Structure 1
C-alpha cells in the first residue's frame, strides 16, 4: 500500500510542478479570472487543488489555428492588393515599353557592325598548317 501512496504522491507532485510552470510561462493574455501573479499564488499555495483550478478555470484554451484560405477568399488579402484598374494601367505601360524596345531592336541603324569574316584555311591544305606549326619537313 505504501508503494501506491508513493506513486500517487509522485504523480501529484508532477502535476503540481507542471501547473506552476505552465501558469508561469503563459502570457498574461491567456489567464482568465484573476491576474497572472494571483494565479501563481493559488497554484503554489494549493498544490493539487490550485493546479486543477488552473487547468479548469484559469487557463484559456488555445485558439484554433487559422485555416488556410485561398487568396481570392481572404478579404484581408483582397483589400491589400491594388485595384484592377491600377493593374491594367501598369500592364498597359509595360506593354508600351516593351513595344518601344522591340521597335528599337528592329532598327538596322542601331545594330553594331559585324566584323568581316576571315578566310579559314581549307581543310585539305596541309602546307599552311605545317608552316604555322614550325614547318615540319
Structure 2
C-alpha cells in the first residue's frame, strides 16, 4: 500500500490544481488565458510541473497577513468599535 502513496499524492495535487483552475474567475488568472492553464495542468500534471506552475504563477493570491482589511472580518480585539463599546459598558457598571 505504501508504494502507491507517491502516485496518490501526485494524483491528488493534479486533481486539486485542475479543479482550482476551473473554479477561478477569469479576472483572477494571471499571465495566460484560463483555457491555456487548463491544458498546462492536464498535460504536465503527471510530473507536477503544471500544477506547481499554476500554484506559483497562475492565480492572483491575497497577501498573507498584513493585507488591507477593508470590508473584511476583523477580530474583536482589533476592532476599535468593539473596544469602545467595552469601555462604555465598564463605565456604565461603575
- Shorter-chain TM-score above 0.5: yes
TM-score by length of 2: 0.63
Match of 2:18 among 17, 20, 32: 20
CA distance in 2, matches of 1:46, 1:7: 19
Aligned counterpart, 1:53: 53
Question: Which structure has the greater CA radius of gyration?
Answer: 1
Aligned residue pair count: 68
Runs of 4+ aligned residues of structure 1 deviating over 4 Å after TM superposition are none
Query: Which 5+ residue runs of structure 2 have no aligned equivalent?
Result: 72-78, 81-94
Q: Work out whether 1:62 is the aligned partner of 2:62.
A: yes
Distance in 1 of aligned mates of 2:56 and 2:32: 14
- 1:32 aligned onto 2:30: yes
What is the alpha-carbon distance in structure 1 between the residues aligned to residue 68 and residue 26 of structure 2?
20
Given the two structures, how large is their TM-score scaled by the length of structure 1? Answer: 0.44
Instruction: Output one character per residue of 1:42-97: Cα deviation in whole Å (capped at 9) or x when no partner.
Output: 00111011000000111110365634698xxxxxxxxxxxxxxxxxxxxxxxxxxx
Q: 1: CA distance between counterparts of 2:13 and 2:39? A: 16
CA RMSD of aligned residues (A): 2.2
Residue segments in structure 1 that go unaligned for 5+ positions in a row: 71-137
2:88 corresponds to = none
Distance in 1 (alpha carbons) for counterparts of 2:3 and 2:14: 16
